[in-house]
Amino acid sequence: MNYGLLLKHADFLLTGARLTVLMTVGAILLGLVLGTALGLARLSQHRPLRWIAGVYLQIFRGTPMLLQICFLYFAIPQIAGPRIWSNPFIPDAALAGIIALGMNSGAYIAEIIRAGIQGVDKGQSEAAWALGLSRHQTTRLVVLPQAFRLTVPPLCNEFIVLLKDTSLASAIGAKELIYQSQVMGARYYEYFVFMAGAGVVYFCLTFLLSRVAGYIERRLAVSD
């Protein structure tokens, strides 16, 4: 096994790692927006909103993420047109992967947000109403900031899982870390070397993310 190939083609793997990070950040942002909206919808007093959110969660939590990625990339263009993923900024497969990962993550983040909101003492809402705040103001200014503290640990775990799940986008040709290591492995018939290199990069990324998460948790604990 020629480990020198890793140094020779480090830029090739790092290009894949950069796309992996980009996909992770994009999916996290989309997942947070969707998850917050769905989590609030799950607690809404309006039955249609609760029903829509419940159906969304059942679909995206009840089907494999790989199926969702492939369906979005291969099936949706047959309905919306073949150029739906074309854009000048992000490769087509990477964009489809970001959206699929974000939509899937949103279903799990929704439950995290819902649990966080329900974990806030109801007396906080009652006190806000007594001060004249509306229900929406109470949710935005009182409940959500406190719920955020409760959701930080599970959200950080979800982000770490999401980082690793970007590897599934290699199935649709997204040139992320796994895809790049497969290409180089096939070129030199050194799959072990390049897959091991990809594993080291994933470990470094998840370790860094877990350290950041630990720092945030400690800061929140001190501020309490």
| Integer Cα distance of 187 and 181 in angstroms | 10
Q: Write down the pLDDT at residue 159.
A: 93
Domains in the chain: boundaries: 21-167
| Integer Cα distance of 213 and 211 in angstroms | 5
| Integer Cα distance of 188 and 199 in angstroms | 18
Does residue 224 have a pLDDT over 80? Answer: no
The pair of structure tokens assigned to 213 is 């998460």
Q: Write down the pLDDT at residue 131.
A: 74
pTM of the full structure: 0.89
pLDDT tens per residue across span 170-204: 999 999 999 999 999 898 888 899 999 999 999 99
> Which is higher by pLDDT, 43 or 138?
43
Domain 21-167 has CATH 3.40.50.300: no
**DSSP assignment of 209-223, as one string?**
HHHHHHHHHHHHHHH
Please report the sign of the dihedral spanned by the C-alpha atoms of residue 80, residue 86, residue 90, residue 91. positive
